[in-house]
């Protein structure tokens, strides 16, 4: 440990209350480990929303189907980065794939991640976009044409029979995908829930609570992105779609809130030896992030807003405003949930007699700046994806902007409807 780090830790001694063991002063899982479950949660939630369309035939949310898939992919690509940043030797991480250890839960995450990325998300996205990629490859010129051809793996068949096969494949993949998405985020909860030495984490409810909060945050994120995208593109918002998504969000919050309340009540009733220090933790170190941000602003206020939006009849603009405010509050709340689990679980001593403090670094690789970059990066990836891949199915006739000078109206190219 370098001298500067030791000096920083000495400063923390003043903020320690009660008795702690000497090696507990350093909080080892930093803000990056907060970002990681937050990102995987968004992935799982966005995918579950997408599966509503294909498996449960909820036609109302069809307009956000592709956006949900791309959102899930963009966030999934960034999800392992916080873990890699956190590792002392990130270049060794690939070894878990080559010399797998089935008894290590953390190593198995590599396989859950690879399965979900390669066998579920990429496949589903490929089948969903294949027809459009073929159409775009035909209509584009130059480098872009090659990008589309490579992305479509040079396939050209868009006959009705081929498209029927695509749709069947998507449905089959989504059915496999739902338990896979549950596995992906349930695993994150499992990692924390199975740390039996830590009373704040050790709970069988942990994977389920993580999963429900993941669904809440994922749906809220897609609603947010859908509203922002339509505003940027100056398109009208499909209010039926928005209302349906919000109602799913509403039910998901209620289930999530009930589970968290159940967990809390059970801990309180069990009153194990840790209950006293956990009570002190909640009322002192986690007062702002748990009681104010997570429960009040991130859960009760948006729940109240959504109840008001459902009980009273508002016009579309007012509803949009209420929905938008609640999805942003929900994101703050879910991020606080991750914070309270990861950081909160490291703030009390194993002696159950003292509390530590977490001092976040700013510019280091495990600091605030790195976390912000990792939170912004998926949006940049998503922006690029949306540029390349259409979020709405293409008509059979594709508009292609012709080269300069800029024409009054884009050139319309007729496209064949079947493969050659």
Partner 1 sequence: MKIPEQVRRLGLVIGIIVVGVLGTRFFLIPRSLISDELHQASTVQREVAKPVKFAGSSTCEGCHEEVSGRVRKGYHKNLMCEGCHGAAARHAEDPGQGKPFAPRDRKFCPVCHSYDASRPTGFPQINPTAHNPVKPCITCHNPHDPVPPKTIEACSACHPQIQRTTAVSSHALLKCTTCHVVPAQHKKTPRSALPSKPEGREFCGTCHAKGATERDAPKVDLSTHGGRFLCWQCHYPHLPEGRG
- Whether residue 221 contacts residue 45, with contact meaning beta carbons closer than 8 Å, is answered with yes
The distance of closest approach from Cβ of residue 192 to partner 1 in the complex, given in angstroms and rounded to an integer, is: 27
- Which residue, 14 or 273, is less far from partner 1 as judged by CB? 14
The distance of closest approach from Cβ of residue 132 to partner 1 in the complex, given in angstroms and rounded to an integer, is: 13
The distance of closest approach from Cβ of residue 126 to partner 1 in the complex, given in angstroms and rounded to an integer, is: 7
Alpha-carbon gap, residue 283 to 148, rounded angstroms? 55
Give the three-state DSSP class for 308: helix
- Which residue, 235 or 350, is less far from partner 1 as judged by CB? 350
- Which residue, 168 or 240, is less far from partner 1 as judged by CB? 168
- Which residue, 161 or 228, is less far from partner 1 as judged by CB? 161
Alpha-carbon gap, residue 260 to 249, rounded angstroms? 16
- Which residue, 8 or 361, is less far from partner 1 as judged by CB? 8
Alpha-carbon gap, residue 193 to 197, rounded angstroms? 10
- Which residue, 161 or 365, is less far from partner 1 as judged by CB? 161
The distance of closest approach from Cβ of residue 131 to partner 1 in the complex, given in angstroms and rounded to an integer, is: 10
The distance of closest approach from Cβ of residue 41 to partner 1 in the complex, given in angstroms and rounded to an integer, is: 28
- Which residue, 162 or 373, is less far from partner 1 as judged by CB? 162
Residue 169 burial (CB count, 10 A): 16
3-state secondary structure string across 191-232 = HHHCCCCCCCCCCCCHHHHHHHHHHHHHHHHHHHHHHHHHHH
The distance of closest approach from Cβ of residue 390 to partner 1 in the complex, given in angstroms and rounded to an integer, is: 18
Q: How far is CA 169 from CA 50, 125, 176, in A?
A: 15, 11, 11
For binding to partner 1 (CB under 8 A), which residues are involved? 22-23, 97-99, 118, 123, 126-127, 130, 153-157, 161-162, 165-166, 419
Side-chain half-sphere exposure of 150, counting CA atoms within 13 A: 7
The distance of closest approach from Cβ of residue 394 to partner 1 in the complex, given in angstroms and rounded to an integer, is: 17
Q: If 0-12 CB within 10 Å is exposed, 13-18 middle and 19+ buried, where does residue 145 land?
A: middle
b/e per residue 10-43 (b: at least 16 CB within 10 A): eeeeeeebeebeeebbebebbbbbbbbbbbbbbb
């Amino acid at each position: 440990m370098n001298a500067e780090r030791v000096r920083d830790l000495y400063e923390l001694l003043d903020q320690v209350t009660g008795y702690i063991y000497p090696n507990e002063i350093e909080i080892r899982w930093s803000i990056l480990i907060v970002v990681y479950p937050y990102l995987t949660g968004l992935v799982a939630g966005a995918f579950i929303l997408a599966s509503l369309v294909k498996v449960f035939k909820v036609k109302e949310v069809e307009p956000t189907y592709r956006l949900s898939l791309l959102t899930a992919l963009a966030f999934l690509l960034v999800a392992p980065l916080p873990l890699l940043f956190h590792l002392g030797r990130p270049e060794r991480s690939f070894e878990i794939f080559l010399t797998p250890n089935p008894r290590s839960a953390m190593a198995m995450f590599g396989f859950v991640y690879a399965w979900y990325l390669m066998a579920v998300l990429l496949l589903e996205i490929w089948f969903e976009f294949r027809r459009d990629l073929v159409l775009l490859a035909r209509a584009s010129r130059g480098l872009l044409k090659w990008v589309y051809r490579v992305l479509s793996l040079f396939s050209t068949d868009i006959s009705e029979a081929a498209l029927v096969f695509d749709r069947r494949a998507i449905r089959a993949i989504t059915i496999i995908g739902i338990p896979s998405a549950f596995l992906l985020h349930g695993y994150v909860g499992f990692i924390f829930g199975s740390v039996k030495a830590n009373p704040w984490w050790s709970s069988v409810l942990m994977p389920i609570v993580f999963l429900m909060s993941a669904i809440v945050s994922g749906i809220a994120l897609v609603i947010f992105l859908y509203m922002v995208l339509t505003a940027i593109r100056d398109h009208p918002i499909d209010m039926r779609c928005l209302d349906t998504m919000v109602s799913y969000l509403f039910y998901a919050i209620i289930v999530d809130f009930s589970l968290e309340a159940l967990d809390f009540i059970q801990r309180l009733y069990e009153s194990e030896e840790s209950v006293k220090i956990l009570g002190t933790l909640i009322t002192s170190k986690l007062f702002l992030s748990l009681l104010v941000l997570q429960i009040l602003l991130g859960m009760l206020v948006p729940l109240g807003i959504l109840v008001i939006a459902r009980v009273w009849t508002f016009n579309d603009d007012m509803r949009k405003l209420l929905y938008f405010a609640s999805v942003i509050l929900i994101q703050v709340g879910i991020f606080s949930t991750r914070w309270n689990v990861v950081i909160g679980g490291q703030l009390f001593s194993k002696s159950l007699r003292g509390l530590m403090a977490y001092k976040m670094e700013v510019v280091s690789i495990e600091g605030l700046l790195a976390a912000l970059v990792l939170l912004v990066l998926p949006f940049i990836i998503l922006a690029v994806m949306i540029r390349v891949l259409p979020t709405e199915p293409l008509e059979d006739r594709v508009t292609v902007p012709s080269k300069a000078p800029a024409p009054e109206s884009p050139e319309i190219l007729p496209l064949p409807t079947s493969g050659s």
